Amino acid sequence: MKNCILIVTTLLLSSVSLACRADEIRISVTHPQLIRAAPVITLPGQFVAKNEIAIGSPLQQQAVTAVFAEEGQRVEKNQLLATLESPLQSASVRQLQAETEKAAAYIRQQSVLAEQSQRDLSRMTKLAHSGVISASEFEKAKSDTKALRAQVDAGQAELRQLQAQLAREKSQEDKSKIYAPAAGIISERHAVQGMLSDNSLLFKMIENGEIEFEATAGADELAQMQETVPVTLKTANNRQLSGTVRFISPVLSSLTQSGRVRVTVADGESLSALRQGQTGVLTYTAASREYQSLPYSAVRTGTTGARSVFIVKKNKVMQLPVQTGAINNGQIAILSQLPPDADVVVNAQAFLTDNDTVTPVKAAK
């Protein structure tokens, strides 16, 4: 009997102790706040060529004989940059030119003979009708005239064939001359006198000398950005520039979950001082909007980077994953909507877990 009384007493004391312990876990909670603000996005990056053109040669085993452009030099479209050695090609062109000239001279000679033969035939026609010459003589004259015309036609066909071959060989010879495909600035020069081309890169150029700013932004930042929006840029030496968003990448990197942003620099007078590879910072002010926010301390970041908050409902703790945005003045934007009256734990302490029993206390504003 005494043992039974002792067990009952112990159980009662344990229940009272657990109840007291539950009452002792007091947690500060708050509701999500609605805030209207214009998020400011700051992205580091560098100045790059808007369009960079690689220049090479399709010819194999051709030595560079001369280089006429240097790195940093401004060039015009179709300006000669370098020449390659092509002795066999040049010899073939000279031979075809000689054959073409010979064929043209032969055609001129045969054309004169054919015209003379035609005039003679016209005179003989009257004589044949009057019986002065025999029919056989007249037929021979007609055959000679036709033969001369055929020789002229054959010569013209051969001349056209030679001209086509000459044009083809000249086209190949022209490939030994490297021209600028557009106006711009030579950004890299790899061509060195004596080197073999072998389809290698000879030059790189910045088309029209146009420089713009490139930065990498995360998925959340890209979602807040729009093209054609004005931005400000600051170079490494604290020069302030203005610009406009030209391009926002539609594709994210599968590894980093980020994409590229390109900005056109609007300050025309400052473009000449910018250099490819120069670093800077982009500042983008997003459109003002209303969003939920919580104290930054209310958000727990897991080992994988996933973020969550703790909500208290009927004295029970429930962990809820959330998507977050920008941080401003100790508040963090909550992109995944929470119930407006949710009791969110202000400090997401590490000891809290699902189904913990707590007593929520409204945090002081």
Instruction: Give me the pLDDT at residue 337, please.
Output: 86
Query: Residue 313 forms beta bridges with which residues?
Result: 316
Q: Which fold has domain 52-84+176-201?
A: OB fold (Dihydrolipoamide Acetyltransferase, E2P) (2.40.50)
What dihedral do alpha carbons 116, 120, 122, 125 form, nearest 10°? -160
Q: Which fold has domain 40-50+207-288?
A: Elongation Factor Tu (Ef-tu); domain 3 (2.40.30)
How far is residue 331's CA from residue 34's CA, in Å, rounded to a whole number? 11
* Residues 6 or more apart whose Cβ sits within 8 Å of residue 255: none
CB 293 within 8 Å of CB 336:
no
pLDDT of 29 > 80? The answer is yes
Instruction: Give me the pLDDT at residue 10, please.
Output: 45
* Residues 6 or more apart whose Cβ sits within 8 Å of residue 184: 53, 74, 75, 205, 206, 207, 208, 209
Classified as helix, coil or strand, 267 is: coil
Range among 21-30, 86-95, 115-124, 318-327 rated most confident? 318-327
| Residue 16 banded pLDDT, cuts 50, 70, 90 | very low
* Count of beta carbons in the 10 Å neighbourhood of residue 87: 9
User: What value does the mean pLDDT take over residues 299-303?
Assistant: 90
Angular region, 208: left φ>0, alpha ψ -120 to 50, beta rest: left
| Residue 89 banded pLDDT, cuts 50, 70, 90 | low
Render pLDDT for 163-221 as a digit per residue (tens, 0 to 9): 888 888 777 777 788 999 999 999 999 999 988 877 789 999 999 999 999 999 999 88
Instruction: Give me the pLDDT at residue 348, please.
Output: 80
Q: Report how far apart, in Å, the C-alpha atoms of 83 and of each of 9, 59, 62, 160, 195 are.
A: 105, 12, 10, 30, 11
pLDDT of 331 > 70? The answer is yes
Q: Which fold has domain 26-34+290-362?
A: 2.40.420
Side-chain half-sphere CA neighbours of 43 within 13 A: 28
Instruction: Give me the pLDDT at residue 57, please.
Output: 86
Range among 34-48, 240-254, 280-294, 314-328 rated most confident? 240-254
User: What value does the mean pLDDT take over residues 357-363?
Assistant: 87
pLDDT of 23 > 80? The answer is no
Instruction: Give me the pLDDT at residue 131, please.
Output: 66
Instruction: Give me the pLDDT at residue 87, please.
Output: 64
pLDDT of 6 > 70? The answer is no
User: What value does the mean pLDDT take over residues 112-117?
Assistant: 81
Instruction: Give me the pLDDT at residue 88, please.
Output: 66
| Residue 234 banded pLDDT, cuts 50, 70, 90 | very high
Instruction: Give me the pLDDT at residue 18, please.
Output: 42
Average pLDDT of the chain is 84
How far is residue 249's CA from residue 45's CA, in Å, rounded to a whole number? 15
Instruction: Give me the pLDDT at residue 140, please.
Output: 79
How far is residue 158's CA from residue 110's CA, in Å, rounded to a whole number? 14
User: What value does the mean pLDDT take over residues 283-307?
Assistant: 89
